[in-house]
Chains A and B, each alone.
Chain A
Amino acid sequence: MTTKKLLSSLTAGLLIVSTLLGIMGCGYVGRRAGRSGSGGARYPAGAWAGQGEGFGRNVKRQSWRRVGTFDELWIIDNSGSRLSAPDHDYPGQGEMRALVGEKEIALPLAHTDVRAEISAFLATVKVRQQYRNPYDRKIEAVYVFPLPQNAAVTDFVMVVGRRRIRGIIRERKEARKIFEEAKKRGYVASLLTQERPNIFTQKVANIEPSKRIDVEITYFNPLRYENGEYEFVFPMVVGPRYNPPGYKGGVGAVGRGQRGRSGQTKEVEYLKPGKERSAHEVAVNVEIDAGVEIENIYSNTHVVNVKRPARTRAAVSLAPGDRLPNKDFVLRYRVAGRTLKAAMLTHGQGREKTFALVLQPPAGIESLPRVPREMVFVLDCSGSMHGMPIKKAKEAMRRCLRSLDANDTFQIIRFSNDASTLGPRPIAATPRNVRRGLRYLESLSSCGGTQMIEGIRAALDFPHDDKRLRVVSFMTDGYIGNERDILAAIKEKRGSARIFSFGVGTSVNRYLLERMAAIGSGAAAFVNLEDSASPAVDEFYRRAARPALADVRIDWGDLEVTDVYPRQFPDIFVGRPVMIVGRLKGNGTQRIQISGRAGTKRISSELRTDLDSARSLHAGIGKMWARWKLKELHNREISCPSDALRREITSTSLMHGLLCRYTAFLAVDSTRRTEGSSGVTVKQPVPVPEGVKYETTVSE
């Protein structure tokens, strides 16, 4: 919008406020963004009392005495030599703590506060990370953490005391250079970068002893909607990734203080379960304004407190005893009416708007005859699936095998360091063969690496049975670091096969699984270890067995529509609407014609929408459109990387203030230089996800 336009719109009331904010792309029209409280950081008494040496590599230099019988009181004797701290070591500290069992490690990330506001299908989420320096010297805190894979990170604020400093997005290389310079010169600075669409790194430099620096990240996130339920997910920990031999660009998993051991450019340090724990806790508060009655709201992953201020609203918070950040927080709710209607949401002023169109398959698609399938089940048998995850995956696969139709064929492929199959080719789903498949399934166990590429080759490289629709379903936690290689391989090899991905575990790599399904014209489903696998499997099978609405076309009528994403409309499965975003010019009530092919039939439906309706306005739509555009460009980059594409991704990111892998948010407090050198770097170790074995996944 031009300045002239802006000024002419400043006529009365609070219009100026919303106009200014509209320009800034802020989601909080007409209200102040809520600030999160200071939270309840748990610091043991005496954590900073005394001075001396610390932990990690230096523990051996100290003597620890056990003085209690019931509780354990550890007293650190500082008589050992002082730490000569190379930059990857932990800084010194003195502490005296009462502990039972696990040793609590003093770490910079004290608390994370998550506040989400959900309106329609879009969540606006503020994540506030509180960093404190519990040591006796200056530190740089580094934390690798997850966010939802479809989050549009739009805002970054560093909080120093009561001062709020907004970071400005810039090219990653330039931002890193300025950050390093600020760090070297002693300025408090923070840098936020994206490693994967669902993995981010936060660095906070020059935190002085006992001082606190907070960072506040804001993102928009469309909710998943399936079978009448919305799903809000907040991931809390990055699962330990496997990287193939020779690969350097992955995300390594190492024990605490063992930086560099994985050989990867990015690493996550993990605490050893039963021996170490962190005081870091996560508080989550979600406010839902559904607009229609909320019928049921629950979480299978966490204990939650639910308040219902109105029938259409809910306020959900994590119970105080369930705040350990070791698994995804998944909140589901059902709204009245059971099915989501096709709808269009818009944002913008005048005729020019950004829109999000939610499409449902037309009624009657379920009654169409199913076509015979060639079902290929691919089971991840790597070390990270050991225990409950593989048990759950097998439970799901058993149900799938028993649901096969007599006209179907099937194949089972297992992979870890290599891949092997039930037989040389798919076999008919006769009762006898199904029993054989079940026996084979029971014989599989988990160990070794995650050479997913082997599973993909085994699943997609054999000749296609042209009388059947090939459906390949991957059952995995997705804990790999070479996602781009995997996605490129699927793109290259899939042919006419549909890919369904089935995520099993408490903190699955949703980015990988969602992208695999999207590239493969299929769908992703997730089963938590606390969930029964049955409903998800039944839904998966329902989708895989019935025709989707394919070859989707949209007649926009009188609307002028441009910049639509995704470029290629996805197939629409029963019970699973899809979202399309774009830009339009138009006003008033409009008719949109949606058509597609279901099996051999061409069917269509009409959507009427009032573009001037107040209900259709949503401030986050513009950001979601930009996020989709970035995703589309990244997808193109997977198969055809080029400098031109990289420049286009970067400029799109900068233009819309939306973080991507080539940009970064940087904030520097230039008013004051802290004293001394820039201190030592402390990486925030995290717990391994619940249900995942440290021993089989983390390099020591």
Chain B
Amino acid sequence: MRLLLTITASVLLAAGTGDDKPARDGKSADPFMPVDVFVDSGNKQLVAYQLEITYDHKQVKIISLEGGEPEAFKDAPHYDPAGMTRGRIIIAAFTTDHAGAPKGKNRLARLHLTAEGHGTPKLKVTVVAAAKPGGKRLDAKAELEGMRKTRKGFEE
């Protein structure tokens, strides 16, 4: 079987620098943070994807999933509750709007999570499957980007 290109990325997230700055003991750190999920399908249109995201379940809890920027992937991705073991979630989305299917690198989803403590939460994303119009498989890369908290809110 042909292997799909898998790109993994760690997310570097500051624990907070402003109003939400944690106390020295870390107890008041704001644990909520969004993490953006980007998928790059190169010069091919993408109509469906399935991603596996792994993380340290003692530190991170994924609490919600949001849709992406392209209109075709605006709806929130689905997740597989049976595959949601400790520290692993599989998310997937598709579009039937082939004309509007995106090319290149796009933010296709956003994870809302809580991350406890001071350390940088580490998440890893793997492309399980991706498809172009017609249902044919395509190679795609995925990466995650966290947001840094500032005094005035969030900043990438």
Candidates B32, B96, B131, B147; contact of A182 at CB < 8 Å: B32
Which residue on A lies nearest to B131, using beta carbons? A16
**Pair B48/A162 contact, Cβ less than 8 Å:** no
A672 interfacial by beta-carbon distance below 8 Å = yes
Give the interface segment out of A28-36, A384-392, A456-464. Answer: A28-36
Interface residue tally on A, bucketed by range: 35 or more
Stretch in A18-26, A87-95, A119-127, A332-340 touching the partner = A18-26
Report whether B67 and A10 are in contact in the complex, using a CB–CB cutoff of 8 Å. Answer: no
- Decide: A670 near B135, CB < 8 A? Known: A7-B1, A166-B65: no
Please tell me if A666 contacts chain B, counting CB pairs below 8 Å.
yes
Q: Cβ of B11 < 8 Å from any Cβ of A?
A: no
Contacts of A344 in B (CB 8 A): none
Given contacts A6-B129, A656-B81, A656-B82, contact A16 B74 (CB under 8 A): no
In angstroms, Cα B13 to Cα A410, docked, is 74
Could you say which residues of chain B place their CB within 8 Å of the CB of A672?
153-154
Question: Out of B61, B74, B80, B147, which one reaches A23, CB within 8 Å?
Answer: B80
A-contact bits for B91-106, CB 8 A (1 contact / 0 none) = 0111111000000000
B129: min CB distance to chain A, Å: 6
A475 beta carbon closer than 8 Å to chain B:
no
**A31 with B96: CB separation less than 8 A:** yes
A24 and B80 within 8 A (CB) = yes
Please measure, in the bound complex, the distance between the C-alpha atom of A552 and the C-alpha atom of B92, giving whole angstroms: 42
One digit per residue, 1 when the CB lies within 8 angstroms of any chain B CB and 0 when it does not, for chain A 219-263 equals 000000000000000000000000000000000000000000000
How many Å lie between the Cα of A566 and that of B32 in the bound state? 42
> In the complex, what residues of B have CB within 8 A of residue A26's CB?
78
Give chain A residues whose Cβ lies under 8 Å from the Cβ of B50: 6, 20, 23
User: In the complex, what residue of chain A is closest to B31 when comparing beta carbons?
Assistant: A181
Complex Cα spacing A162 to B135, Å: 28
Residues in B neighbouring A6, C-beta threshold 8 A? 50, 128-129
Residue B33 lies at the interface, judged by CB distance under 8 Å to chain A: yes
Task: Say yes or no: A668 contacts B48, CB within 8 Å.
Answer: no
Q: Does B143 contact A (CB under 8 A)?
A: no
When distances are taken between beta carbons in the complex, the residues of chain A under 8 Å from B34 are 670-671
Known contacts A178-B61, A668-B63; A20/B92 CB under 8 A: yes
Query: In the complex, how many angstroms separate the beta carbon of B110 from the nearest chain A beta carbon?
Result: 8
Q: Tell me, rounded to whole Å, the shortest Cβ–Cβ distance linking A669 to chain B.
A: 7
In the assembled complex, B136 has its CB within 8 A of some CB on chain A: yes
Q: Are A21's CB and B78's CB within 8 A?
A: yes
Contacting A169 at CB < 8 Å: which of B66, B81, B93? Answer: B81
Residue A165, interface by CB 8 Å = yes
Q: Which residue of B lies closest to A181 (CB)?
A: B31
With a CB–CB cut-off of 8 A, which chain A residues contact B79? 24, 166, 168, 657
B154 touches A671 (CB 8 A): yes
Given A16-B137, A670-B112, the answer on whether A166 and B32 have CB atoms closer than 8 Å is no
- Tally of contacts, chain A with chain B, CB under 8 A: 147
* Inter-chain contacts of A666 with B (CB < 8 A): 63-64
Q: Would B62 and A168 count as touching, CB distance under 8 A? A: yes
Judged by a CB distance under 8 angstroms, whether A565 is at the interface is no
Instruction: List the A side residues contacting B113 at CB < 8 Å.
Output: 670
Fill in one digit per residue for A296-311: 1 if any B CB lies within 8 Å of its CB, else 0.
0000000000000000
Q: Which of B61, B77, B78, B112 has the most CB of A within 10 A?
A: B112
Q: Is B59 an interface residue (CB 8 A)?
A: no
**Contacts known (A168-B79, A672-B154); A10 close to B66, Cβ less than 8 A:** no
Collect the chain A residues with CB atoms within 8 Å of residue B32's CB.
181-182, 185, 187, 668, 670
Contacts of B82 in A (CB 8 A): 655-657
Kindly provide the distance from the CB of A186 to the nearest chain B CB, expressed in whole angstroms. Answer: 10
Given known A17-B48, A24-B78, A166-B65, contact A668–B96 (CB-CB < 8 A): no
Q: With the chains together, A656 CA to B31 CA distance in Å?
A: 27
- Interface residues in A183-198 by Cβ distance below 8 A to B read 185, 187
Is the CB–CB distance between B64 and A667 below 8 Å? yes
Residues of B within 8 A of A17 (CB): 47-48, 94, 96, 131, 135
Contact B135 A10, beta carbon cutoff 8 Å: yes
Q: How far apart are B16's CB and chain A's nearest CB, in angstroms?
A: 11
Question: Are B80 and A12 closer than 8 Å at their CB atoms?
Answer: no
* Complex contacts, A13 vs chain B, CB 8 Å: 134-135
Q: Is B131 within 8 A of A162, CB to CB?
A: no
Query: What residues of chain A lie closer than 8 Å to B114, measured between beta carbons?
Result: 178, 181
Chain B residue, CB-CB nearest to A32: B96
Question: A23-B80, A30-B96, A672-B154 are known contacts. Are A167 and B64 too (CB-CB below 8 A)?
Answer: yes
| Complex interface residues of chain A between 31 and 68 (CB less than 8 A to chain B) | 31-33
| Distance A181 CA – B63 CA, assembled complex (angstroms) | 12
Q: Are B131 and A168 in contact (CB under 8 A)?
A: no
Question: In the complex, A212→B148 CA distance in Å?
Answer: 27
Closest beta carbon of chain A to B131's beta carbon, Å = 4
Task: State whether B63 touches A33 (Cβ < 8 A).
Answer: no
Q: Known interface pairs A13-B135, A20-B48. Does A32 touch B75 (Cβ–Cβ under 8 Å)?
A: yes
Contact A657-B154, Cβ < 8 Å, known A13-B134, A20-B94, A164-B66: no
- CA A11 – CA B30 in complex, angstroms? 45
Q: Which residues of B contact A199 (CB under 8 A)?
A: none
Residues of A within 8 A of B31 (CB): 181
How close is A364's CB to chain B, nearest CB, in angstroms? 44
Interface CB pairs A-B, < 8 A, 21: A3-B52, A17-B131, A20-B93, A25-B80, A31-B96, A32-B95, A157-B76, A158-B64, A187-B32, A654-B84, A656-B81, A657-B81, A657-B82, A667-B64, A667-B112, A668-B63, A670-B112, A670-B113, A671-B34, A671-B112, A671-B147
A12-B135, A178-B114, A182-B32 known, 8 other contacts, Cβ within 8 Å = A3-B52, A3-B129, A10-B135, A20-B92, A158-B64, A185-B30, A668-B64, A670-B32
7 nearest A-B pairs in the assembled complex, by CB-CB distance: A657-B81, A24-B78, A166-B76, A670-B32, A16-B131, A670-B112, A20-B92
